[in-house]
Structure 1
């Protein structure tokens, strides 16, 4: 059985090499599919939510009676801690996709009685632990990886808000 698996592995590697050399235009189209086929390993990913965290950014502070126009371009990306490079993409496949916020807007100062209005943007993250079990398809040997993830929250990944100050 090990001999057959080794032959299959060598055949797949040979086909990949031939596609890259003999037919590079075809290989470019197939590259993602070939690389995403886990030839040697299979992966089992488990994630456990622990808490919601956030990162708040002050966008602008506008005085009373004034108006400003601002461009805002923010991204709420996945963050991983304690993750080896060889499994980062495996973990990211199981997390929420990054969220983008891009706008150009008019920001106004507060009503009378307040000195200024501060505008904020809060990026919300779901924090938790992940465990990846990588199994070698030929030998059956397993290796366990664990770490911390932060993914954009499924509810309100990016929230815009303001506060009037005296």
Structure 2
């Protein structure tokens, strides 16, 4: 087992040397791929949903009889709590991808009887706990990480709505 571990270490060092010194033109292209190759560790991620949370943003308030053109550029990203930097990318890979909302739209005020119309955007997130089991490929030693995740909901990650007020 120790001979295999030493051989694997020598191979990893050789690859790093080749990419950084012998073939530097490939180093930049391969940098992101090498970090995701997980040469030393293997990871197992499990997640458990607990609830849906929301973040509502008021986009505009338009008075009765008026109209406005607004540009909107919002994004719902993954949020992690209690996550060490060394496993952030591993956890993010197992979660829903960020969701973007971009639009340029005409917003109108309400019908008579109301003073203004407020426009809102609600970001829906699925909240839960994750567990990451990290195993060292050479020694077999395991380490467990736990934390909280918020990922954009798969159904209606971003909802636009309005409400007329007096």
Q: TM-score range by the shorter chain?
A: over 0.9
The answer for the alignment partner of 1:25 in structure 2 is 25
Q: Secondary structure at the match of 1:124?
A: strand
SS of aligned partner of 1:150: strand
> Which whole-Å deviations, capped at 9, do the CAs of 1:86-121 have from their partners, x for residues lacking one?
000000000000001111111000001100000000
The corresponding residue for 1:48 is 48
Rounded to whole Å, the distance in 1 between the matches of 2:67 and 2:22 is: 61
8 Å Cα contact 1:129/1:146 also seen in 2: yes
Using the TM superposition, name which of 90-99 and 13-22 deviates more.
13-22
Equivalent in the alignment of 2:140: 140
Q: Give the aligned length.
A: 166
- Residue 138 of structure 1 aligns to a residue whose secondary structure is coil
| Distance of 1:82 and 1:12 partners within structure 2 | 31
> What runs of 5+ residues in structure 2 fail to find an aligned partner?
none
TM-score between the two structures when normalised by the length of structure 2: 0.96
Unaligned runs of 5+ in 1: none
The corresponding residue for 2:57 is: 57
For residues 13 and 77 of structure 1, the distance between their equivalents in structure 2, rounded to whole angstroms, comes to 36
TM-score (norm 1): 0.96
- Whether contact under 8 Å (1:78, 1:150) holds in the other structure is yes
CA distances 1:66-99 after superposition (whole Å, capped 9, x unpaired): 0011111111000000000000000000000000
CA deviation digits over 1:39-79, x for unaligned, max 9? 11111100000000000000000000000111111110000
What SS does the corresponding residue of 2:138 show, helix, strand or coil?
coil
* Cα offset, 1:31, TM superposition: 2.4
1:2: how far off? 2.2
Q: Does 1:154 align with 2:142?
A: no
Instruction: Report whether the alignment pairs 1:93 with 2:97.
Output: no
Give the aligned CA root-mean-square deviation in angstroms: 1.0
Q: Is the 8 A contact 1:9 1:39 kept in 2?
A: no
Matches within 5 A, 1:97-108: 97-108=97-108
What is the alpha-carbon distance in structure 1 between the residues aligned to residue 94 and residue 15 of structure 2?
A: 29
